[in-house]
């Protein structure tokens, strides 16, 4: 149901209701305005309110909910997943993550891992790049506090959060698997390569001078 698009100047599909024409039409318009608008409000008076009685009742969060961040342990070996590679530190747009690596003979760990949750954007890019699925997001945002320093999460706190709430669906490998196109080349796919595509130097030379390109159909 939609009104016809070609209509006279300023006319409405529900009739031309104007004020200031003359007495009886004005009166009629006023009365009809009153009854119609009041009818809609009366209807809503008897609809159930949409209020969710938080915090007594909590909403069901969807699988992919981006909540607070946490560090995880490996399921089999109960070791920390984080290898201190600092990829998350580099990709974070507001630069809230700071990591120091600790090298041991077998594998690397994170010596310190701080995350400033008060400046975090919850963009999930750190989760996206993590090679070991160490950092993930939880299905909860409930960390409100009166002191900002409590939101400067250190490694222990991040691990505690990881055990406290339900994890969200997204992990680094999961996201990358979802996004990476399959290896078999097909007509529509562009570059199915697995390694990051660097622009070949020949391509840059072939471009020559910068050419102004308008946005066109892809």
Partner 1 sequence: MDIESRQVLEMGYGGAERITMNMGPQHPSSHGVFRAILTLEGETVIAIDAVIGYLHRCHEKLGESLTYTQYPSIASKTDYVAAMTSELAYVRAAETIGKIDVPRRAQYVRVIAAELQRVASHCVWLGTWCLDMGGALGGGATVFLYCIREREDVLDLFEALTGARLLYGLHQVGGVRYDIPAGWGQQVRATVDKIDRRIDEFEEMLESNAFFMARTQGVGVASRELAQEVGISGPLLRGSGVNYDIRRAEPYSSYGDFDFKVPVETAGDCFARYRVRMVEFRESIKIVRQALDGLPEGPISSRPGVKSVGQVRIPKGEAYARVEGARGEVGCYLIADGGAKPYRMKWRGASFSNLAILPHIIPGHKVADVVAIMGSVDPVFGEVDR
Partner 2 sequence: MPSAIYSFIVGFIVLNAIIGMVTYVTLLERKFAARMQSRIGPYRVGPHGLLQPIADALKLMMKEDIVPRLADRRVYNLAPVVFLIPCMLIFATLPFAPGLGVADLNIGILFFLAVSAMEIVGLFMGGWGSNNKYALLSVMRAVNQIISYDLPFVFAAMVPVLLTGSLKLSDIAAAQPDVLHWFVFYPVIGQLAFVAYIVATLAAENRVPFDILEAESELVAGFRVEYSGMKFALIQLGEYAHVIATSFLGALLFLGAWDGPGSGSSATLGVFYFLLKAMFVFLLVTWIRWSFVRIRVDQILAISWKLLLPATLVLLMATAVVVAWNGPSLG
Interacting positions 157-196 with partner 2 (CB under 8 A)? none
Nearest to 128 by CA among 166, 82, 177: 177
Query: What DSSP string describes 165-198?
Result: SPBPS--HHHHHHHHSPPSS--SS-S---SS--P
146 binds, among partner 2, partner 1, none (CB under 5 to 8 A by kind): none
Compute the distance between CA of residue 212 and CA of residue 17 in angstroms, rounded to an integer.
51
Site string for partner 1, 92-111 (x = CB under 8 A): xx------------------
- DSSP H helical ranges for 96-192: 125-129, 155-164, 172-179
Select 106 or 212, whichever has its Cβ closest to partner 1.
212
Select 38 or 123, whichever has its Cβ closest to partner 2.
38
Site for partner 1 in 138-157 (CB under 8 A): none
Select 149 or 198, whichever has its Cβ closest to partner 1.
198
Is 104 a binding residue for partner 2 by CB under 8 A? The answer is: no
**Binds partner 2 (CB under 8 A): choice among 37, 102, 123, 163:** 37
Count CB-CB contacts under 10 A for residue 177.
9
Is 164 a binding residue for partner 1 by CB under 8 A? The answer is: no
Is 59 a binding residue for partner 2 by CB under 8 A? The answer is: no
Q: How far apart are the first and last CA of the chain?
A: 33
Site for partner 1 in 48-87 (CB under 8 A): 50, 61-66, 87
Compute the distance between CA of residue 114 and CA of residue 158 in angstroms, rounded to an integer.
9
Beta strands in 52-142 (DSSP E): 69-71, 97-103, 108-116, 135-137
Is 131 a binding residue for partner 1 by CB under 8 A? The answer is: yes
Applying CB under 8 A, the residues found at the interface with partner 2 are: 19-20, 23, 26-27, 30, 33-34, 37-38, 40-42, 44-45, 47-51, 53
């Amino acid at each position: 149901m939609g009104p016809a698009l070609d209509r006279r100047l300023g006319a409405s599909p529900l009739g031309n209701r104007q004020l200031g024409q003359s007495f009886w039409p004005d009166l009629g318009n006023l009365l009809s305005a009153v009854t119609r608008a009041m009818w809609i409000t009366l209807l809503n008076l008897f609809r159930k309110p949409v209020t969710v009685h938080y915090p007594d009742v909590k909403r069901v969060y969807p699988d992919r909910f981006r909540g607070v961040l946490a560090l995880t342990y490996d399921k089999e070996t109960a070791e920390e997943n984080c290898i201190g590679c600092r990829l998350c530190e580099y990709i974070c747009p507001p630069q809230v993550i700071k990591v120091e690596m600790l090298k041991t003979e077998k594998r690397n760990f994170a010596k310190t891992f701080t995350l400033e949750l008060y400046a975090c954007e919850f963009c999930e890019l750190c989760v996206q790049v993590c090679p070991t699925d160490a950092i993930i997001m939880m299905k909860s945002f409930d960390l409100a506090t009166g002191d900002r320093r409590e939101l400067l999460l250190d490694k222990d706190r991040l691990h505690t959060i990881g055990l406290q709430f339900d994890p969200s669906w997204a992990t680094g490998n999961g996201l990358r698997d979802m996004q990476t196109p399959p290896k078999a080349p097909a007509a529509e796919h562009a570059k199915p390569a697995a390694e990051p595509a660097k622009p070949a130097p020949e391509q840059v030379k072939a471009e020559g001078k910068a050419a102004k390109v308008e946005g066109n159909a892809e």
